[in-house]
Amino acid sequence: MEIIEAQSGYTSFTLQVNGQRYALNVEPRRTLLDALRIDCGLTGAKKVCEMGNCGACTVLLDGAAVYSCLVLAVECEQRQLTTIESGATGNTVGALQRVFIEHDALQCGYCTPGQIMSLAALFDRDPSPSEASITEAVAGNLCRCGAYRHILQAAQSLAAAGANAAGSEDD
Amino acid sequence: MTDTPPCPVMSVPRREAHQKVTGRAHYSSDILLPGQLYAGILRSPHARARVRQVDDCAVRKVAGVRDVITPGDDPGFYWYGEQVPTLGEELRFVGDEIAALTADSEEAATDGLRAFAVDYEVLEPVVGLDDAARDGAPLVYPDKPGNLAAKPRIYSRGDIKAGFAAAEVVVAGTWTTQTALHNALEPHGCNAWWDGELLNLWVSTQSIFTVRDNVASKLGLPLNRVRVHAQHIGGGFGAKQVDWKPTVIAAILARRSNRPVKLMLDREAENLAAGNRNATRQQLRLGATRDGRLCAIAATIDIDGGAYTLGGENSMVAGCYQQLYDCDNVYTEQRQYYSNTGPAVAFRAPGYVEGTAALEQAMDDLARELELDPFALRERNYSSRDQMRDKVYSSPEALRRCYSAARQDFDWPVRSQPATPRKCRGIGMAASVWPAGSRNPPAYATVIVQTDGSVSVLSGTQDIGTGTRTVLAQVAAQALDLPVDQVEVVIGDTATELYAPPSAGSATLATLGPAVHAAALEVRQQVLTLAAQELKAELQLLRLENGTVAGTAESPAVPLRELAGAAPPGSLRANSAIQSKPGAVATCTFAVQCAEVEVDLDTAEITLLRLTCAPDCGAVVNRLLADSQVIGGVTQGLGFALTEARLVDDATGLVLNANLEDYLVPTAADVPPINHAVVNLPDVSENPLGIKGLGEPPMIATAPAIANAVRDALGVRLRDLPLTRRRLLEALKQSGTGR
Ligand code: FES
Ligand code: FES
């Protein structure tokens, strides 16, 4: 592993993102969002409000959806981070990506990574969530293009598929 | 050239959806360049002030700060009609630019901005319309008496006095609309990098060519030395049509440092200084005969233009008064005032959203007064002419089709029963007009069949989220009879030199689609000519179908791939241009909306139950994407109706909600089912594809439809938007219905 010399006022640590290690040497005040975007080069999570109001920066921290603009990168050492870039491997994120495309649950796409990550946390807990819990899961993710109706439909289609899968297991 | 039918309605998934859902789409804010510096702008904390001195000594000592520019480093060019320097000492709104810096990191840039010591002479601000117009108000500009930005804009037709004299019923009122903020999720911003003498800009913009031209002219550069890139754009809604100061400041700082510079606005700066929808006050009178014929429309419109005037902001609040209904006697007077607030700039259907909000509520009042169904009143005053331009509408039946589609989809006037007696339900409708069509030509496109048979479409347009790539690919694929996924669309780079107009005015597809269509048809002809040579067949007998040239009985079918491979590279290509044409007809788009609401009499909470929007956009090219635009526009409209308003402190001019916590845009929990009642009415007088455009119309009639539904539910009319709970509670109390 690369050995990093800490500059004064900086701190060195590693982040585990999507199963990969990233070595960081940053000021302790660096947010997780900036660390992901600048230090890890993972720009999927977006910076919109930096105040926990919009959800565009949502990532999973040990499986829970968090606003990465409100978390410090140093707090995430030794913890599992999952971002939108993890989706290629056919997991929940991947399934959500598929239904988002099918339902055109996006326009400019700037809020989209955050929407998907908020839903991924929900679907990881419950593969067939109710309409109400879907709405609740994304109620903190603003979309100025107003793609909400399609976002909700996309998630509901995945929930229905999840419910079917659960039903067939019971048979 | 062969005529192909307009594109059939399809539901093709968004071309770039995969990049967007995987986080791989690169927006301006995502560009990271080696050695990049971060820039920040120091902004005025006062609504009106004079800078006595900027002390940047401490700033320059902050670790990581590289460079500082202050009003003393004035680059010598001016903004907003030659009045204003880039970094000013005369500050006219909270957020006005004073100084800028670059630093190694965003954290260091923040530290640097905090270290400025500025000595201000704080002056009395002008806040809002009443303040701007009052006697003895301070002047935002000393040479603009009465704070009037320009001479009142007066329109008149017929004889307004005679019109009102003939009226048997008059409805009058004063309506206000609020200042609304675009809040595109990606803020304005830019990455600037000088590659030798070539300035590269990655900008979040709705018009890469506008940015190129304006930056080049300000910096004194040849046009071919400025290259603007915009692959993906996180929304614009009108605010990103112009070259804003941050773009130019980033370019200046990049030149000074000889390094790439990123300058993104944060949300506060975005909400203070990146434009807004003008607040308006509209005094309106409608006169009609007992049987519901409009005989006079008169409106006096006051507009809060903010401190600076930018393009396209407010010129047409009176447009709907002049265009929507058949009425011989119309008088409108628009007055725009300066105030010490952020600049107004175009916001999705600028002017028409504000004007229609008032007109369509007044029409609802008139219908009640006459005891007419609101649809019936509108149909009684149906106009198939644009009386403002004195031309027949290019599709004179379109609005009628919208009325019937909306009515049918919504099942008007059926309403549901409230769950409890302390809740009321109501329904409302409203109509709208918008001057659309192939606006702002010219527009250029190139279509190339590559040697492997794949197709590239090139144009200097950009996609702000409407799906430009996808629909252009469809147009080319249709003309060439290819599967759409065989077409790649290259946009967002001025280096193509294929000029395209701003993505604005709902006009991108209507303007550019025909250019792509014409180029693709020409390429098809080239392919067939080549096939005729190769196959020694007669040209007229050959057809290009589904990626294959289907021949005659003697000549075998040849895949496009093979034919293209036999041609010299780059030889199968065509350019096309759409130029402006004299219009014998007036091209407009229309929309009709219906809403059902439930209002709680005790809490004044408004719940939207369902919304229907029937927009006319000419031909529908992509149903899936059209649905997205419609629900998106309606969603923005319902925010305007119910919750969105910039709040400014009257005394100080401080903006109280320059964030997404207190400026309330709709959330997923706020949107009811929104139905797109499709009116697919190709308008071939406009262009061969019959397309008119869809971005703006779905937003215009939303607020009045909701306001009319609330009026229906409660029996009280609020004349001020947004319909906040406080306002409703007061109105309910006054009417004796509430507590
Ligand atoms: S950027 Fe983190 S919640 Fe908005
Ligand atoms: S798709 Fe543009 S903000 Fe959601």
Q: Which ligand is nearest to the CA of A111?
A: 2
Three-class SS of B113-144: HHCCEEEEEECCCCCHHHHHHCCCCCCCCCCC
Nearest chain A CA: its distance from B29 CA (Å):
8
**What is the reported pLDDT for A6?**
47
Q: B288 and B397, same structural domain? A: yes
The answer to whether the beta carbons of residues B301 and B333 sit under 8 Å apart is: yes
For B275-294, what is the mean pLDDT?
97
Residue B11 CA, distance from chain mean position: 24
- Indicate which atom in ligand 2 lies nearest the CA of residue A108: 2
Q: B426 and B305, same structural domain? A: yes
Asked if B668's CB is within 8 angstroms of A146's CB, the reply is no
List b or e across B113-141, with b for residues whose CB sees 16 or more CB atoms inside 10 angstroms: bebbebebeebebbbbbebbbeeebeebe
Is residue B138 one of the residues assigned to a domain? no
Q: In this structure, what token pair is assigned to residue A164? A: 């079917």
Is residue B317 one of the residues assigned to a domain? yes
High-pLDDT (> 70) share of chain B, %: 98
DSSP string covering B423-447, please? EEEEEEEEEEEE--SS-S--EEEEE
Q: What is the CATH number of domain A11-85?
A: 3.10.20.30
Q: Which of B37-46, B215-224, B538-547 is least confident?
A: B538-547
- pLDDT confidence bin for B343, thresholds 50/70/90: very high
Q: In this structure, what token pair is assigned to residue B318? A: 């009176």
- pLDDT confidence bin for B5, thresholds 50/70/90: very low
pLDDT at A50 over 90: yes
Domain that holds residue B516: 442-578
Q: B115 and B244, same structural domain? A: yes
Q: B590 and B561, same structural domain? A: no
Dihedral of CA atoms B610, A145, B437, B618 in degrees, nearest 10, equals: -40
pLDDT at A171 over 50: no
pLDDT in tens, B300-309: 999 999 999 8
Which backbone phi and psi does B635 adopt, to 5 degrees? -65, -40
pLDDT at B738 over 90: no
**What is the reported pLDDT for A1?**
41
Give CA–CA dist B208/B201, Å, rounded: 9
Q: B294 and B388, same structural domain? A: yes
Q: What is the CATH number of domain A92-167?
A: 1.10.150.120
pLDDT in tens, B350-403: 999 999 999 999 999 999 999 999 999 999 999 999 999 999 999 999 999 999
Q: Which ligand is nearest to the CA of A55?
A: 1
The answer to whether the beta carbons of residues B700 and B630 sit under 8 Å apart is: no
Best residue of A144, A148, A158 to probe chain B, by most B CBs closer than 10 Å? A144
Give CA–CA dist A36/A22, Å, rounded: 9
**What is the reported pLDDT for A2?**
46
Give CA–CA dist B279/A32, Å, rounded: 39
For A112-124, what is the mean pLDDT?
97
For A139-166, what is the mean pLDDT?
94
For B559-579, what is the mean pLDDT?
92
Beta-carbon count within 10 A of B376 CB: 12
- pLDDT confidence bin for B469, thresholds 50/70/90: very high
pLDDT in tens, B596-637: 999 999 999 999 999 999 999 999 999 999 999 999 999 999
Asked if A97's CB is within 8 angstroms of B660's CB, the reply is no
Q: Give this complex's ipTM.
A: 0.96
Across the A:B interface, residue pairs with CB atoms under 8 Å apart total 174
Three-class SS of B250-293: HHHHHHHHCCCEEEECCHHHHHHHCCCECEEEEEEEEEECCCCC
Give CA–CA dist B505/B636, Å, rounded: 16
pLDDT at B160 over 90: yes
The answer to whether the beta carbons of residues A25 and A40 sit under 8 Å apart is: no
**What is the reported pLDDT for A3?**
46
Asked if A109's CB is within 8 angstroms of B21's CB, the reply is yes
**What is the reported pLDDT for B362?**
98
pLDDT in tens, B32-87: 999 999 999 999 999 999 999 999 999 999 999 999 999 999 888 888 876 789 99
Nearest chain A CA: its distance from B434 CA (Å):
20
Q: In this structure, what token pair is assigned to residue B357? A: 């909000």
For B535-561, what is the mean pLDDT?
86
pLDDT at B327 over 70: yes
pLDDT at B737 over 80: no
Q: In this structure, what token pair is assigned to residue A82? A: 């999952």
Give CA–CA dist B156/B168, Å, rounded: 21
- pLDDT confidence bin for B1, thresholds 50/70/90: very low
Q: In this structure, what token pair is assigned to residue B273? A: 């200084």
> Could you tell me which of B339, B368, B223, B211 has the C-alpha nearest to residue B280?
B339
Q: What pTM was computed for the model? A: 0.96
Q: How many angstroms does the Cα of residue A107 sit away from the middle of ligand 2?
A: 5
- pLDDT confidence bin for A168, thresholds 50/70/90: low
Degrees, nearest 5: CA angle B558-B563-B565: 135
pLDDT at B693 over 50: yes
Is residue B479 one of the residues assigned to a domain? yes
Q: B467 and B423, same structural domain? A: no
**What is the reported pLDDT for B7?**
60
pLDDT at B312 over 50: yes
Q: Where are the domains of chain A?
A: 11-85, 92-167
Give CA–CA dist A31/A73, Å, rounded: 5
CA distance to B144, B320, B326, B341, per residue, from B345 (Å): 20, 19, 30, 12
Q: How many angstroms does the Cα of residue A18 sit away from the middle of ligand 1?
A: 20
Q: B458 and B565, same structural domain? A: yes
Best residue of B107, B185, B272, B699 to probe chain A, by most A CBs closer than 10 Å? B185
Q: How many angstroms does the Cα of residue B275 sit away from the middle of ligand 1?
A: 21
* B697 preceded by a cis bond (ω within 30 of 0): no
> Could you tell me which of B574, B604, B560 has the C-alpha nearest to residue B726?
B604
Task: Specify the CATH number for the domain of residue B44.
Answer: 3.90.1170.50
**What is the reported pLDDT for B733?**
86
Q: B100 and B214, same structural domain? A: yes
Q: B211 and B88, same structural domain? A: yes
CA distance to B175, B183, B346, B349, B382, per residue, from B357 (Å): 8, 21, 17, 12, 19
Question: Does any CB of chain B come closer than 8 Å to the CB of residue A36?
Answer: no
The answer to whether the beta carbons of residues B167 and B296 sit under 8 Å apart is: yes
Is the model more confident about B731 or about A155?
Answer: A155
The answer to whether the beta carbons of residues A93 and B23 sit under 8 Å apart is: no
pLDDT in tens, B82-108: 678 999 899 999 999 999 999 999 999
Q: Which of B544, B578, B612 is the last residue of a domain?
A: B578
Asked if A140's CB is within 8 angstroms of B628's CB, the reply is no
Best residue of B12, B19, B22 to probe chain A, by most A CBs closer than 10 Å? B22
DSSP string covering B640-695, please? HHHT----B-TTT--BS--STTTS----GGG---EEE--B----TTT-TT-B---S
- Indicate which atom in ligand 1 lies nearest the CA of residue A70: 2
Residue B723: partners with Cβ closer than 8 Å, 6 or more residues away: B606, B641, B642, B706, B707, B710
- Indicate which atom in ligand 1 lies nearest the CA of residue A49: 4
Give CA–CA dist B666/B644, Å, rounded: 8
The answer to whether the beta carbons of residues A114 and A99 sit under 8 Å apart is: no
Determine the longest span between alpha carbons in chain B, in angstroms: 90
**What is the reported pLDDT for B6?**
53
Is residue B602 one of the residues assigned to a domain? yes
pLDDT at A4 over 70: no
Q: B249 and B100, same structural domain? A: yes
Work out the mean pLDDT of chain B and round it to a whole number: 94
pLDDT at B582 over 80: no
Domain count, chain B: 3
For B467-487, what is the mean pLDDT?
95
Nearest chain B CA: its distance from A171 CA (Å):
34
Chain B residues with beta carbon closer than 8 angstroms to that of A147: 628, 631-632
Q: B68 and B92, same structural domain? A: yes
Q: How many angstroms does the Cα of residue B320 sit away from the middle of ligand 2?
A: 29
Task: Specify the CATH number for the domain of residue B429.
Answer: 3.30.365.10
Q: B449 and B397, same structural domain? A: no
Q: Give me the count of residues in chain A.
A: 171
- pLDDT confidence bin for A169, thresholds 50/70/90: very low
The answer to whether the beta carbons of residues B207 and B236 sit under 8 Å apart is: no
Q: Which of B226-235, B253-262, B389-398, B683-692 is least confident?
A: B683-692
Chain B residues with beta carbon closer than 8 angstroms to that of A144: 182-185, 235, 237, 636, 665
pLDDT at A164 over 90: no
For A73-94, what is the mean pLDDT?
91
Chain B residues with beta carbon closer than 8 angstroms to that of A102: 13
Give CA–CA dist B630/B166, Å, rounded: 40
Q: Which of B578, B611, B634 is the last residue of a domain?
A: B578
